[in-house]
Amino acid sequence: MKSNFLKPTKRYANLKELLTDTVSLYGERDAYRFKKGKEIISKTYNNLLEDSMAFSNVLKKFDLLGKHIAVIGATSYEWILTYFGTVNSNSVIVPIDKELPANDISELLNRADISALVFDRLLEDRIKDIMSSCPDIKYYINMSIDENKENIFSYSQLIKDNKGSFDIEIDNNKMCTILFTSGTTGQSKGVMLNHTALADNATCMNTGEPVGTVSLSVLPIHHAYCFTCDVLACLCGGVTSCFNDSIMRIVKNINLFKPNIILLVPMIIESLYYKLNELVNANPNVPKSYIAKQVFGESLHTIYCGGAYLNPKLIEAFEEFGIELIQGYGMTEFSPRISVSVRGYIKNKINSVGALIPDCEAKVEDGEILVKGKSMMLGYYKNDEETNRTIVDGWLKTGDLGYIDDDGFVFITGRKKNLIILANGENVSPEELENKFSGYLIAKELMIYSKDGKITAEMFPNNDYLKLKGITDVESAFNQKVDEINKELPLYKRITKTIIRNDEFEKTASGKIKRKNNQ
């Protein structure tokens, strides 16, 4: 099954071609804007190419061409330079989550065969432990210092000292990045992607946004979703990307940078909707569009959403505020986009996660969605067993249950590994039941699973909301909601046990609940 609803942008063979062509088109336009102290700094497309070549020259100087380079830090201009300077020198970039403890970071660095580590001030409290645990790393480069310190190089000084052109023929099919997944079960796996996959996915969708559109980058940059969409795709469209420096300052930075578009995950969207609703309730006679402009400014018109399930009701709810929500679906192993919502078809495909991207084929086997195309990973680094389990006869097993309609629109019903198999042989998707609670503000976190043969709903309550609404009997309120949901379900799917917990669920680095650890 394929879909013809999405139209790609100009196609590129690799990321070097993508960067050099976009620079030729948008050279003196701002590629990035960010705060430094009280000042807003701008960097053009020309700056990006020039400075990324300088980093390639650094790798050449240190005899690191073709080696594995790790980068750890917040979203920054230097982080992006490191990425392009590495992959466009035929080397391998390995982005790692800055929030991980030193032991976990060291384990990933050693497993990925890292020769140099680029980091910022956020890692300075762990760098000594990492250095003692990673004997094979030859160079440490700090993006936050202006001068070399002991055996740590200053990033800015290296860039300044190694200006000049850099050119090398790119091997499009060679691995250029390792992305570690933060799965909800088991050890993280290193997804290997090449230039072909990343360039294909970056150009899979023409959003129709005009050149000069302003975007605010909010999500962690080490994730494939953020980097492909917020960095690569935005470059292709001549977009100016602004960096959000804190999740607590999203609204403030929206008003500062005045973005037209933002890429978010459902958890943040739900939080924003909660705050918008509070303002609506406090100002019942004020139009929703006016309230939205007070929060988001005059410019924001579209929020792109991915990474988890989005309640379709939120699409309609944000439309009332004058904001369009466009949902997508994907996985790191596919660079990551598999499907994206199509303007004009969102309402009549309201429960869909969008149409398949161009050149992506999909089929369903035993209820599981399988895909293949240029965006597909090479496999898992040093893990042939998992690779062979995930890629079968050229098809990538997504692990997601669902179906694809005749137009190539994808519908997700749950995760195969989470499926509850009852004693009577019936199968129940916990995600399907969890989605019934979407928008239920009493629950801050919720998980469905089977315990002692009973379908169980376990909740961590939203204490701020309970206090605001004066709700004291949480158990009764939760059971009442479960009863309402059960009335709509067949007998075998009904929730028969409820648990209210006192602390949050254990989560992955990307914020997803670890199911096996919490049952």
Strands 454-461 and 497-500: parallel
Cα–Cα distance between 216 and 234 in angstroms, integer?
A: 11
Domain harbouring 103, CATH code: 3.40.50.980
Give the domain CATH number at 472: 3.30.300.30
Residue bearing the bigger pLDDT, 517 or 304: 304
Is the domain of 257 the same as that of 402?
yes
Q: What is the DSSP string of 41-59?
A: EEEEHHHHHHHHHHHHHHH
In which residue are the tokens 């060679």 written?
174
Summary mean pLDDT of the chain: 94
Q: Which residue has the higher pLDDT, 418 or 116?
A: 116
Quick check: pTM over 0.85? yes
Mean pLDDT, residues 376-390 taken together: 97
- The 10 Å Cβ neighbour count of residue 492 is 13
Per the domain annotation, does 179 fall within a domain? no
Alpha helices, H only, 218-337: 224-226, 234-236, 250-257, 266-282, 288-296, 312-320
- Residues 303, 384: one domain? yes
pLDDT digits over 11-51, tens only? Answer: 999 999 999 999 999 999 999 999 998 899 999 999 999 99
pLDDT > 90 in the chain, percent:
84
Indicate if 96 and 243 belong to the same structural domain. Answer: no
Q: How many domains does the chain have?
A: 3
Together in a domain, 261 and 390: yes
| Non-local CB neighbours of 440 within 8 Å, separated by 6+ positions | 446, 481
Which of 416, 434, 451 finishes a domain?
416
> Are residues 353 and 456 located together in one domain of the fold?
no
Q: Is residue 24 part of a domain?
A: no
Tell whether 311 and 220 lie within a shared domain.
yes
Give the DSSP letter string of 301-313. -EEEE-SS---HH
Examine residue 316 and state whether it is found in any structural domain, yes or no: yes
Given a cut of 70, is residue 518 above it in pLDDT?
A: no
- β 240-243/395-404 pair status: unpaired
Assess whether 115 and 96 both reside in one domain.
yes
Task: Enter the DSSP assignment of 409.
Answer: B
Last residue of a domain, one of 142, 170, 198: 170
Amino acid at 13: A
- Whether 31 is covered by a domain: the verdict is no
Query: Which residues span the domain enclosing 457?
Result: 419-518
The pLDDT tens digits of the residues spanning 336-352 come to 999 999 887 776 788 89
Q: What does the block give as tokens for 122?
A: 């956020």
pLDDT tens, 177-225?
A: 999 986 544 578 999 999 999 999 999 999 899 999 999 999 999 999 9
Residues 310 and 401 placed together within one structural domain of the fold: yes
Residue 511 has pLDDT above 80, yes or no: no
Q: Indicate whether 326 and 450 sit together in one domain.
A: no
Among 52-56, 162-166, 346-350, 393-397, the least confident range: 346-350
> Do 424 and 402 fall within a single domain?
no
| 356 pLDDT more than 90 | yes
pLDDT score at 517: 63
- Unique residue bearing structure tokens 């965006």: 375
User: Which residue from 368, 484, 18 is spatially nearest to 227, judged by alpha carbons?
Assistant: 18
CATH code at 283? 3.40.50.12780
Domain membership of residue 75 (yes or no) is: yes
Same domain, 371 and 284: yes
Residue 327 lies in a domain: yes
User: What's the pLDDT at 409?
Assistant: 94
Res 519: pLDDT: 65
pLDDT category of residue 426 using cuts at 50, 70 and 90: confident
Residue 510 lies in a domain: yes
Query: Are both 399 and 427 inside the same structural domain?
Result: no
Strand partners, 402: 412
Residue 308 lies in a domain: yes
How many whole angstroms separate alpha carbon 117 and alpha carbon 127? 10
The last residue of one of the domains, among 392, 416, 440, is 416
